[in-house]
Structure 1
């Protein structure tokens, strides 16, 4: 199934997700370059909600740009297989080698506003991340490592602790949704 089909077939968990799904599909019909950052209005990213086998903890990274505890993820950079992107970002940002998706399907959808900022000395304009999240399982006892280009700490946190540790109000809402969905995950 191609990315558009995956997003079309995704069953939204909330009314907010339903609206964001609709908008993402509209953008896909409007822009032909959403998989690359050269689209400075909006582009695809993939995130991993990394949980332990008991699904009681999530792996968070202290994100250098946002100065907040955050999930793991990154830009598609031309790759339409966003699950592959989420897995690659997980390995790059945490050092984890033994990870597995709990499903090959989308776990959640988000449109995330990204404020203007500097990255590696270059200005980045305000834009949108059309984000696809995957649920990934990892062994909480496996050694992690910091990726200094992206983060300055990695930590397993209880689900509620992860929400509390985040300092971005809009992301707290996303993490609460992911945790709520996790409680009902089979």
Structure 2
């Protein structure tokens, strides 16, 4: 399986990524179906950390469901190429016409908890997002727009302001700061 090979090749940046890498590999090797939301306990998601060419800004959307500024991405929903899925989600959620991956390598791995919630009038039980993150680049001068069924605003922020804009504690404390710190090797690319 291609995703297993990509995760095996991924070099964790911290303990969270190391632990999540091992658990992701264990789950994917178990033979369970994780590419679809048909698995109500855990399913794959693809996220994008979209930065400006100078790596000084990040693109965020105000996510309606979580009532917070957040990164871009979504459920795999059957798509096995998570890099392609992350790019599709960026284009759909922001209207960006020109966005491209900085690398085809996995940028970050996370297993994220999602509390039970209402979505389009239906209750969704608490579950896990088995998340694969890719690093993307786009020009902040390009026009962006919201996707009203998912987000109400889209905006570029200086890296650390993006962290502060999130109201989700785990993302503010652990995920977004990590993604910003991991940019160092990409500053000259």
Q: How many residue pairs align between the two structures?
A: 186
Determine the structure 2 residue equivalent to 1:179: 180
After superposition, residues 80-159 of structure 1 pair within 5 angstroms as 80-159=80-159
- Tell me, what secondary structure is at the counterpart of 2:106? coil
TM-score by length of 1: 0.98
Say what the alpha-carbon RMSD is for the aligned residues: 1.0
CA drift of 1:32 comes to: 2.3
CA drift of 1:30 comes to: 2.2
CA drift of 1:127 comes to: 0.2
CA drift of 1:31 comes to: 4.2
Determine the structure 1 residue equivalent to 2:37: 37
Q: CA offsets, 1:30-57, max 9 Å, x none?
A: 2421000010110000000000010000
In 2: Cα distance, 1:31 partner to 1:159 partner? 38
Q: CA offsets, 1:81-128, max 9 Å, x none?
A: 000000000000000010110001100000000000011111100000
In 2: Cα distance, 1:66 partner to 1:179 partner? 21
CA drift of 1:15 comes to: 1.2
In 2: Cα distance, 1:107 partner to 1:95 partner? 23
Determine the structure 1 residue equivalent to 2:164: 164
Determine the structure 1 residue equivalent to 2:4: 4
Structure 1, unaligned runs of 5 or more: none
Following TM superposition, the consecutive aligned residue runs of length 4 or more in structure 1 with deviations greater than 6 angstroms are none
In 1: Cα distance, 2:32 partner to 2:2 partner? 14
CA drift of 1:16 comes to: 1.1
In 1: Cα distance, 2:110 partner to 2:144 partner? 27
TM-score by length of 2: 0.96
Structure 2, unaligned runs of 5 or more: none
In 2: Cα distance, 1:16 partner to 1:100 partner? 27
Q: Given the alignment of the two structures, is residue 57 of structure 1 paired with residue 74 of structure 2, yes or no? A: no
In 2: Cα distance, 1:24 partner to 1:41 partner? 14
